[in-house]
Amino acid sequence: MLKQVLYPDRESWPDLIKRPVQEFEKIEEQIKVIFDQVRNNGDKALMELTARFDKVSLTGLLVSPEEIATAAEQISPELQTAIQQAYKNITVFHETQREASRPVETMPGVRCWRKSVAIEKVGLYIPGGTAPLFSTLLMLGIPAKLAGCREIVLCTPPGKDGSVHPAILFTASLLGISTICKVGGSQAIAALTFGTESIPAVSKIFGPGNQYVTVAKQMAGKYGVAIDMPAGPSEVLVIADETADPSFVAADLLSQAEHGTDSQVVLVTNSEQLLPLVEQALEEQLKNLSRQNIAAETLTNSLGILLKDSEEMLAFSNLYAPEHLIIIAQELEHLATGVTNAGSVFLGAYSPESVGDYASGTNHTLPTNGYARAYSGVSLDSFVKKITFQHLSPQGLQSIGPIVEIMADAEGLDAHRQAVSIRLKSLSNV
């Protein structure tokens, strides 16, 4: 189960916050070969790579309108209703992130403002396989539509029969996304980077994936395509004191542990009694999981840390900078106020991380591997560019012009000075 660490001194914390090692360098050359294949051979390369990696022979890469139209018939009415409610909640939350343009006069006659402009073409990568992440499609597709992205391209790996999971197609239809490509893995990222006969090239790529997809997204950046954020395996840190229900804590740890064997879960507590109780609850709940083997292996890479008080728990969490942070403790407000590094925070005994993964409204595409120290999760801002504008009246240039002339002189940039001086001279002759 969890590796228990009791009252570690602060000098040892940097070693404790290390995630399971990912040796990306070993697969970079493989990804480079795939990128070259897709760039040079387009759809033909994608067909061959899909046959090799997914064991699927495709006759076409794009999902047909007929496949999209019949998707709703293949999922239950209950799931349709759940997806529609999640769609509403996520939309409500992300609509509040719209930023109005606010012009400001920095000097008399000098007016500046900033405007949000949608990224025209974006690519969404949605993993398929044993866990088709239609929830991730909601998290990416909704802000993309709200932002006004003109073209949204969805890539997702096909199943063994060459089809895309109907829940993904239903969700895409709900979002109005019609360009859906049956391609997964690093070859999908290459297709979105370079474009092929069937798949348009995009300006920014979003979405999670395995280590091959992660490295491929990093490689896309070398070809001038932006990505949402550096991302790796999923993780959660739970801060819990003696008031926490051990079964709740265990359930939260397991909900992340089942993602994959390279995930990590961490329990931080100041209660000596809680640790063994959580261990017992983990053993009991683990027996009933369909992904029991995955979760059990993840727990071997995971930690149960006993610290002396709430201040230490908070300090450790901020150093770890978790993707997901759950706080179940008496000092809830105090601890919440002190959070400086986390992707998304879940407060109280009745706020499981699962609600954020699916339907509360917040986005579940979040920075992992400590990147929460500097990165935010996906939001409406992720799908727009901020362009600044300025307009100067003649009075404005006369006010600010001499300042610019002095500064340009000091930097030895004569042409910069001249661009101002020639205008000031014309105004003085009026």
Q: Is 334 annotated as a binding residue?
A: no
Q: Is 256 annotated as a binding residue?
A: yes
The DSSP code for 219 is H
- Reduced 3-state DSSP string for 28-84: HHHHHHHHHHHHHHHHHHHHHHHHHHCCCCCCCCECCHHHHHCHHHHCCHHHHHHHH
Q: Is residue 364 annotated as part of the catalytic site, yes or no?
A: no
Q: Is 187 annotated as a binding residue?
A: yes
205 within a domain of the structure (yes/no): yes
* Residue where a domain terminates, one of 210, 227, 244: 227
Same domain, residue pair 69 and 178: yes
Same domain as 243, residue 294: yes
Residue 365 lies in a domain: no
pLDDT of residue 129: 64
Residues 60 and 99 in one domain: yes
pLDDT at residue 132, rounded to an integer? 84
The domain containing residue 413 runs over which residues? 393-428
Q: Domain containing 162 — which CATH number?
A: 3.40.50.1980
CB 1 within 8 A of CB 283: yes
Query: Does the annotation flag 125 for ligand binding?
Result: yes
Element (H, E) at 216: helix 211-222
Residue 210 marked in a binding site:
yes
Find out whether 262 is annotated in a ligand binding site. Answer: no
- Is there a domain that residue 358 lies in? no
Pairwise CA distance, residues 326 & 315, whole Å: 14
Choose, from 323, 331, 353, 364, the residue flagged as catalytic. 323
Indicate whether 39 and 137 sit together in one domain. Answer: yes
Are 123 and 200 found together in one domain? yes
Same domain, 63 and 30: yes
Instruction: Answer whether 0.85 is exceeded by the pTM.
Output: yes
Inside any domain, residue 374: no
Catalytic annotation present for 323? yes
Question: 218 among the known binding-site residues?
Answer: no
Question: In 3-state terms, what secondary structure has residue 159?
Answer: coil
pLDDT, residue 69, reads: 94
Q: Is 259 annotated as a binding residue?
A: yes
Query: Do residue 9 and residue 50 come from a single domain?
Result: no
Q: Which of 200, 227, 254 is the last residue of a domain?
A: 227
375 in any annotated domain: no
Domain count, the chain: 3
What is the pLDDT at residue 130?
Answer: 62
The position carrying tokens 């000031």 is 424
Beta strand 179-182 pairing with 151-156: parallel
Which residue in 213, 302, 174, 205 sits closest to 250, CA to CA?
A: 302
Is position 370 within any domain?
A: no
Same domain, 14 and 30: no
Q: Is 165 annotated as a binding residue?
A: no
What pLDDT sits at residue 204? 98
Q: Is residue 237 part of a domain?
A: yes
**Do 322 and 408 fall into the same domain?**
no
Q: Give yes or no: residues 179 and 45 share one domain.
A: yes
Provide the residue-wise pLDDT of the chain in tens; the chain has 430 residues: 899 999 999 999 999 999 876 677 889 999 999 999 999 999 999 999 999 999 999 999 999 999 999 999 999 999 999 999 999 999 999 999 999 999 999 999 999 999 999 999 999 999 986 678 999 999 999 999 999 999 999 999 999 999 999 999 999 999 999 999 999 999 999 999 999 999 999 999 999 988 899 999 999 999 999 999 988 889 999 999 999 999 999 999 999 999 888 899 999 999 999 999 999 999 999 999 999 999 999 999 899 999 999 999 999 999 999 999 999 999 999 999 999 999 999 999 999 999 999 999 999 999 999 999 999 999 999 999 999 999 999 999 999 999 999 999 999 999 999 999 999 999 987 6
Residues 6+ positions from 110 with CB-CB distance below 8 Å: 390, 392, 396, 399, 400
DSSP letter for 126, please.
Answer: -
In a domain, 14, yes or no: yes
Asked whether residue 308 falls in the same domain as residue 198, the answer is: no
- Whichever domain contains 400, its CATH number is 1.20.5.1300
Catalytic pick from 165, 324, 331, 353? Answer: 324
State how far the Cα of 92 lies from the Cα of 21, in Å rounded to an integer: 38
The rounded distance, in Å, linking the Cα atoms of 180 and 64 is: 8
236 and 217 in a single domain? The answer is no
Which residue, of 209, 227, 245, is where some domain finishes? 227
pLDDT at 232: 81
> At what angle are helices 185-194 and 211-222 packed, to 10 degrees?
20
Residue closest to 405 by CA, chosen among 396, 391, 416:
416
